[in-house]
A and B are shown apart, each in its own frame.
Chain A
Amino acid sequence: MSGRFGSYILYRLATALVVLAGVSVLTFGLIYLTPGDPAETILIQQTDQHPSQAQIDAFRAEHGLDEPIPIQYLEWLSSALRGDLGQSYYSGRDVAALIVQHVPATLELAAASMLVALAIALPTGVLSAVHRGERLDAASQLAALVGVSMPNFWLGYLLIIVFSLHLSLLPVAGSGGLSHLLLPAVALGTGMAAIVTRLVRTSMLEVLDATYVEVARSKGLSERVVIYKHALRNALLPVVTVVGLQFGFVLNGAVVVEIVFQRPGLGMLLVDAVFARDYPVVQGVVLVGAVAFVVTNVLVDLSYRYLDPRIRLGGVPS
């Protein structure tokens, strides 16, 4: 049993390494999507005038762009593996340090929006499953669909209009204490809540149909005890695991929400760097984001399998 799970771990780690290798190639290669010559384009952007050949050559030499592309990649990769993501073309600052500086704002937002999502989704999903097919279920599913369909940048402005401009309860933008966190967390958490509600509902429905719930019912336990003691606990395990690590969604959403609320997080760092063609910063943020995404997906997979003995005992999927 544990041998099988052990070999699954090895298999999963091996594929993750292959994927990470691919991720690094793609991240590095992004720079060559630049229309025309990267060095020339960057210099035009920086100085607003056409650079001389000498300037281009100097820029290439300074940033290692004069070497053959495979060598550039290997050098970039070996530095990255040592934690050195290069320097910003503009400020000259260490990219790794820049990322470290911007991570807390994004993590804060991620954690807070996750809390908002769970606070909305848990009761809604459970009620929806318990009252399956009834009006309440239909209403909550429709609400979830509206939540998924809502652009979080518009929701952000709606929140600002109501709570900051009209009620003057919360600050419009910036970062700082809890008051700066609340609106962005709701803007980002609502979309997530919609997804999680569906997850909770499905998971709960599955559990409610399971044999041990039948057994609990047939023992004469009250429906309330069956639902909240037996069913909910089992339904929540996979949900919390999956939700706790919904990294991709948070990263996607954080970019836009950070712009709306002017929060100095990774999303804002990335967007500013993209517009400035500050490639080392772009590559650094993309790499860190993708690695975090891959790692969390592996963890989700493993914990999900570990928590569910039916899957744990199963074979390696193709």
Chain B
Amino acid sequence: MSHPEEQGGSLAGQSRHPAFSRLLGDLRRNPLTLAGALIVAALALVAVVGPVVLTTDPTAQDLPNRLQPPSAAHPLGTDQLGRDVLTRLVYGARLSLGIALAVTAIRVVVGTTVGVVAGYAGGWVDEALMRLVDVQLAFPGLVLALVVAGILGPSLRNVMLALAVVGWATYARVVRATVLSVSEREYVDAARLFGTPPRRIARRHLLPAVLNPVLVLATLNLGTVVLATAGLSFIGLGAQPPTPEWGTMLAGGRDYLRSAWWLVNAPGLAIVLTVLGFNLLGDGLRDALDPHQQSRLEEV
């Protein structure tokens, strides 16, 4: 068994990124992970290229053509204001993925910083930071996000802020635990004994150990953020009409459940597919990168 992070940088060349090539191998062997990766890649493509191809304004109303069932002209039908549902879904993909990336990035940066500081500093700093984490995790995540977003005022920006605020604590816990367990390992002790500078130990031993669970957690988090954003927008706290956001679109379709079934089902299906993609990919990454399953903690 070779542990790439334990080998020095002298092993250049082919085995430069053994973890990465092993990961690719794992991805190829596991069809579900591959499916997840493909879904995510396709979504990313739609989010980036879609709005360039579909140049119709997703908010442009066309009242004579309202509530049209799916047809060649409108593959997913039109909504109560005659807007093309497919176009709105595509613009919504850009919105959902953008928000998920932004929120997850903030969570990762804040949570990792707090976790590293707590793990390294120890003592009262550690104690104080971890109690702060406890307090944050003491609230049911979505409920707290809902209240924070609502008090800040309904808008997509405030939903992002609220979701970032309530989601960093899990990272802090995982990263702190990893820092503590890695610095107790024998090979780190050995490195220290040989006079390896702390900065080098951090880069060579700590970073890879922290990176893996964080990457897994972040991938799964992208899915939960998409779900939470849609949920808060559905309630009315996030994107406001006419923004083509999936949760908002779903809420707009609730008066047409009988007459225009596609209005709630098209965005619903888009949400499921997106979240499923991230979950499949995240699970596969966990099996490949984080066999000790440190990232399997509470989910927000």
Which residues of chain A have a CB within 8 Å of any CB of chain B?
Answer: 15, 18-20, 22-23, 26, 30-31, 33-35, 138, 142, 145-146, 148-151, 153-154, 157-158, 160-161, 165, 247-249, 251-252, 255-256, 259, 270-271, 274-275, 277, 282, 286, 289-290, 293-294, 297, 318
Known: A149-B279, A153-B250. A271 touches B146 (CB 8 A): yes
Which residues of chain B have a CB within 8 Å of any CB of chain A?
Answer: 32, 131-132, 134-135, 138-144, 146-148, 150-154, 180, 223, 227, 230-231, 234-237, 247, 250, 253-254, 257-258, 261, 264-265, 267-268, 271-272, 275-276, 279-280, 283
Give the dominant DSSP class at B's interface: helix
Q: B272–A150 contact, CB under 8 A?
A: yes
Q: How far is the CB of A296 from chain B (nearest CB, A)?
A: 11
Known: A22-B138, A158-B265, A161-B257. A270 touches B235 (CB 8 A): no
Selected A-B contacts with CB under 8 Å, 18 pairs: A15-B131, A19-B131, A22-B132, A33-B151, A33-B152, A35-B152, A138-B32, A145-B283, A148-B275, A149-B272, A157-B264, A161-B261, A247-B140, A255-B143, A282-B151, A286-B144, A294-B138, A297-B138
Contacts of A249 in B (CB 8 A): 140
Q: How far is the CB of B150 from chain A (nearest CB, A)?
A: 3
Q: How far is the CB of B174 from chain A (nearest CB, A)?
A: 14
Known: A290-B138, A293-B140. A160 touches B257 (CB 8 A): yes
Q: A22–B134 contact, CB under 8 A?
A: yes
* Most chain A CB neighbours (cut-off 10 Å) among B147, B253, B279, B280: B147
- A22 — nearest CB in chain B belongs to which residue? B135
Q: B268–A275 contact, CB under 8 A?
A: no
Q: How far is the CB of A209 from chain B (nearest CB, A)?
A: 16
Q: How far is the CB of A288 from chain B (nearest CB, A)?
A: 11
Contact of B139 among A33, A146, A293 (CB under 8 A): A293
Contact of B257 among A157, A274, A289, A297 (CB under 8 A): A157
Q: How far is the CB of A216 from chain B (nearest CB, A)?
A: 28
Contacts of B154 in A (CB 8 A): 275
Contacts of B139 in A (CB 8 A): 23, 26, 286, 289-290, 293
Contacts of A165 in B (CB 8 A): 257-258
Q: A23–B272 contact, CB under 8 A?
A: no
CA distance A151 to B264 in the complex (A): 12
Q: B142–A255 contact, CB under 8 A?
A: yes
Known: A255-B143, A270-B146, A271-B146. A146 touches B272 (CB 8 A): yes
Q: A251–B146 contact, CB under 8 A?
A: no
Contacts of B236 in A (CB 8 A): 275
CA distance A224 to B156 in the complex (A): 54
CA distance A150 to B279 in the complex (A): 11
